Amino acid sequence: MTVIDPPKVITISLGVKARELYELPHRPTRVEMNELCKLSDEMEHETLESKELHLENFETEVFRDKMVKWVGYNMAEDKNYTVEIESVVYDHTKKTEEEVTKIVNFFDRIAMCTEDGTTVKGRIKSDIQKGPIWHLYWINFRITKSDEGYKNYSIDPRLKIQ
């Protein structure tokens, strides 16, 4: 049996229909966010389709003491709108099947902010518990419309520590 080393960096991509989301006349609902945003990663998923339909259910398997990188992009060809990941912040809860709530920071920092305006990088702690626990966190991003301004948004997917 061959043991495969985990990737050094796992990339999580956030695709956004930027113009449609930006032009909404109100704060988007969860349903609208699910329709206009898509998360993906390079890991294989058994139920990828269902995970892509609901951002809050999207789960990426990551590894202790390894890097994670988040990138954002506009899914449309419209160059007047750009998507930028601004920060990634751990959510102050973790849930097991019994809905036990604890405060656990599984990143090496409380918040990771962009250094280049497009990506955010962070490391999973080496001493964090692995297993059937969903670690919730926030991806904060902005859509900029050229010559007009920007709007900020947040989504809350999950990480599973391996």
- Structure confidence by residue, pLDDT tens digits, 34-85: 999 999 887 655 544 545 557 777 878 888 888 889 899 999 888 999 999 9
Is there a domain that residue 3 lies in? no
Domain count of the chain? 1
116: containing domain: 9-161
Alpha-carbon distance 102 to 26, whole Å?
34
pLDDT at 101 over 50: no
> Is residue 90 a part of any domain in this protein?
yes
**pTM for the predicted model, two decimal places:** 0.81
Residue 1 inside a domain? The answer is: no
User: Is 53 within the bounds of a domain?
Assistant: yes
Is 20 a domain residue?
yes
- Does 2 fall in a domain? no
CATH of the domain at 85: 2.60.40
Q: For residues 55 and 37, what is the distance between their CA atoms, to the nearest angstrom?
A: 8
**15, part of any domain:** yes
Ranges of H-type helices in 23-161 = 30-36, 48-53
In a domain, 4, yes or no: no
Question: H helices within the chain, ranges in order?
Answer: 18-22, 30-36, 48-53
